[in-house]
């Protein structure tokens, strides 16, 4: 990773999302071509690859995940004991931090490695990350399903396993692992909300006061904080649930060290596919 970015670096090299018309923000020498935004050639091509089949998959996963969340929440309430209250609070904190780390890990992996051409996985999961870097405000034009479908999908196996255990274990066995199930449930909730927090960090107009208040308090991902990630080549600040872990992970150079190991083992260059899409002009 390079030199720490200054406030001027961030403002000059990221899209001015507080002015939606600046999707075609121009740099000196490129006055005739949009730098970022929906008119960018790569953004147009990537947006066109969002298919009906992908939409159906997202809807099915959303319905399954929400149904399982309701069932598991009822079970957790049914088996709740006042003696569990401190453990639930601790599980909530651990769930937020764990979700933030996994949001960074998935975000880093999809930003840094792989290509859109990979069978199934490429168009379904890597494509949105490529589009997001060349049209960051596209996420603000996505509805709830397109924004959150993949995150809800990731929770389905864990919520299904939890539901199965509630239906098959004895009350004593459920009590024995109650705190763990609280952690898993709350982790799933925070994972499912991650991309909504991400969307809000790109939304500069019309957010409810309580959302902007949570951003200002850095309880969820703040807009100014996430903007640092959107300075090319998008090599830093990957955690997007709360962004809390970005500080310690940057301090220990976690991502560049991990990239160096992978590059030495595979010879693959980080973010090469991402750069290819950013350079598309036709």
For residues 233-245, give the mean pLDDT.
Answer: 93
For residues 63-83, give the mean pLDDT.
Answer: 96
Question: Tokens in use for 89?
Answer: 């609070």
Render pLDDT for 246-281 as a digit per residue (tens, 0 to 9): 999 999 999 999 999 999 999 988 888 877 766 665
Q: Report pLDDT for 9.
A: 59
In angstroms, the CA 221 to CA 235 distance is 17
DSSP of 16-29, one letter per residue?
A: -TTSGGGGG---TT
**pLDDT level of residue 50 (50, 70, 90 thresholds):** confident
> Do 226 and 201 meet the contact criterion of CB atoms below 8 Å apart?
yes
More confident residue, 230 or 42: 230
Render pLDDT for 11-43 as a digit per residue (tens, 0 to 9): 555 555 554 444 444 444 444 444 556 666 665
> Do 37 and 258 meet the contact criterion of CB atoms below 8 Å apart?
no
> Do 226 and 237 meet the contact criterion of CB atoms below 8 Å apart?
yes
113: Cβ–Cβ under 8 A, 6 or more apart, which residues? 262, 268, 270
b/e per residue, 136-173, with b = 16+ CB within 10 A? bbbbbebeeebbbbbbbbbbbebbeebbebbeeeeeee
Find the helix or strand (DSSP H, E) in which 252 lies: none
Q: Report pLDDT for 62.
A: 97
For residues 52-68, give the mean pLDDT.
Answer: 95
In angstroms, the CA 238 to CA 111 distance is 9
Question: Looking at the predicted structure, is the pLDDT value of residue 214 above 90?
Answer: yes
Question: Looking at the predicted structure, is the pLDDT value of residue 201 above 80?
Answer: yes
Residue recorded with tokens 């957010």: 207
């Amino acid at each position: 990773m390079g030199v720490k970015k200054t406030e001027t670096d961030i403002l000059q090299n990221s899209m001015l999302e507080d002015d939606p018309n600046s999707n075609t923000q121009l740099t000196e020498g490129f006055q005739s071509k949009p730098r970022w935004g929906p008119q960018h050639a790569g953004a147009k091509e990537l947006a066109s690859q969002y298919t009906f089949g992908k939409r159906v998959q997202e809807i099915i996963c959303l319905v399954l995940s929400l149904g399982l969340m309701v069932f598991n929440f009822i079970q957790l309430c049914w088996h709740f004991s006042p003696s569990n209250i401190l453990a639930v609070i601790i599980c909530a904190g651990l769930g937020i931090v764990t979700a933030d780390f996994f949001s960074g890990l998935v975000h880093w992996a999809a930003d840094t490695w792989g290509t859109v051409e990979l069978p199934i996985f490429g168009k379904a999961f890597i494509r949105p990350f490529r589009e997001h870097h060349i049209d960051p405000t596209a996420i603000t034009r996505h509805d709830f399903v397109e924004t959150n479908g993949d995150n809800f999908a990731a929770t389905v196996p864990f919520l299904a396993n939890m539901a199965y255990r509630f239906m098959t274990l004895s009350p004593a066995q459920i009590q024995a692992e109650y705190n763990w199930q609280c952690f898993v449930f709350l982790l799933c909730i925070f994972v499912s909300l991650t991309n909504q927090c991400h969307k809000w960090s790109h939304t500069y107009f019309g957010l409810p006061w309580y959302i902007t208040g949570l951003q200002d308090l850095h309880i969820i991902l703040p807009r100014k904080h996430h903007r640092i990630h959107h300075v090319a080549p998008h090599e830093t600040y990957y955690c997007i649930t709360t962004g809390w872990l970005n500080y310690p992970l940057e301090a220990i150079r976690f991502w560049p060290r991990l990239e160096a190991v992978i590059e030495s083992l595979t010879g693959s260059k980080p973010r090469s596919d991402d750069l290819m899409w950013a350079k598309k002009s036709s």
